[in-house]
Amino acid sequence: MNTMIPFLDMNDWIKQSIMLANETDYLDNLFEIYPTIQEGKRKIDTNIWNNIEENFKQKNDLKLFSCLSKLDLFPIKDSYVWYLKQDKSSIDRNKKTINRLCKIIYKLDLQELKEKIEQPKETNRQIGPMFKNWIKKNKKFKVVNLKEFDENDKDAILDSSDSEMMYYAKNKFNYNINKGIDFIARVNKKFIIGETKFLTAGGGHQHAQFNDAVALLKSNTVNCIKVAILDGVLYIEKEKMYKSLTNELKNYNICSALLLDKFLESFKTKKKGDE
């Protein structure tokens, strides 16, 4: 790296992750975990599209909005759309808002409208299951279902849904965050729980994702080791998340998924109290 990283007095896994991201073919290897592939266009039901087309031509605001609200992707971004989609009864009660939104939609021609609602899903919305799919292929630790994981004390990684792992963590570790958890493992009779994120940009939604992982690290869980399994732009020095990583978070367990096996193996030889 071009600048000196304050590596003294910092968790070793953060150090290794920063070096991995800045001095190796990090992204090439990360693609094995997060193989982000652009999906094809979204499919629109023919009947719904025919109704959209008809109401668009007739400038029937209420019916047009009702049709568009049935789609996965609304054609314009506006702070009021989500509310209207969640509470369909509010559409009839808020005609001025519907009229304002439809005026924006009418500025498009039908072809542009169709292209907007057929746009593929954003890559970052597909990332969630990729980590778990990769974990299932783990060659160094046995990956088991909840029943098998709970019935013995052998080294293993739990393969279960986020919600099932959340309830397990609540009962076992006093986990008190009301959201699913991404990772639970047992090594040398020690439990390791983790939140995993691939942070593809700075700010906004991605920073909220970063904060979710931090919340786990700072939670009052018991009888377990906490780790944030983070990848992406947080290891770039100019990013705001990097500053958090190397300052107020520098003593927490944070590591790239590429180092996860190595992190887990480190507990095989640790004596009680070392962690």
Which of 117, 146, 164 represents a domain boundary (last residue)?
117
Q: Is 103 part of a structural domain of the chain?
A: yes
pLDDT at 275: 45
Average pLDDT for 34-63: 88
Which of 89, 117, 145 represents a domain boundary (last residue)?
117
Terminal CA-CA length for the chain: 29
Digit-coded pLDDT (tens) for 174-190: 999 988 889 999 999 99
Task: Give the residue with greater pLDDT, 71 vs 37.
Answer: 71
Q: Is 59 part of a structural domain of the chain?
A: yes
pLDDT at 228: 96
pLDDT at 165: 92
Let me know: does 184 contact 206? Beta carbons within 8 Å: no
Locus of tokens 């962690």: 275
Shared domain for 149 and 230, answered yes or no, is yes
pLDDT at 249: 95
Q: Quote the domain boundaries for residue 74.
A: 46-117
pLDDT at 126: 59
Shared domain for 107 and 137, answered yes or no, is no
Q: How far is CA 77 from CA 116, 117, 194, in A?
A: 11, 12, 33
CA–CA separation, 212 and 221 (whole Å):
15
Which pLDDT band, with edges at 50, 70 and 90, does 157 fall under? very high
Q: What is the mean pLDDT of the chain?
A: 89
Digit-coded pLDDT (tens) for 12-39: 999 999 999 999 999 999 999 998 766 6
Digit-coded pLDDT (tens) for 221-245: 999 999 999 999 999 988 889 999 9
Shared domain for 104 and 220, answered yes or no, is no
Which of 117, 145, 167 represents a domain boundary (last residue)?
117
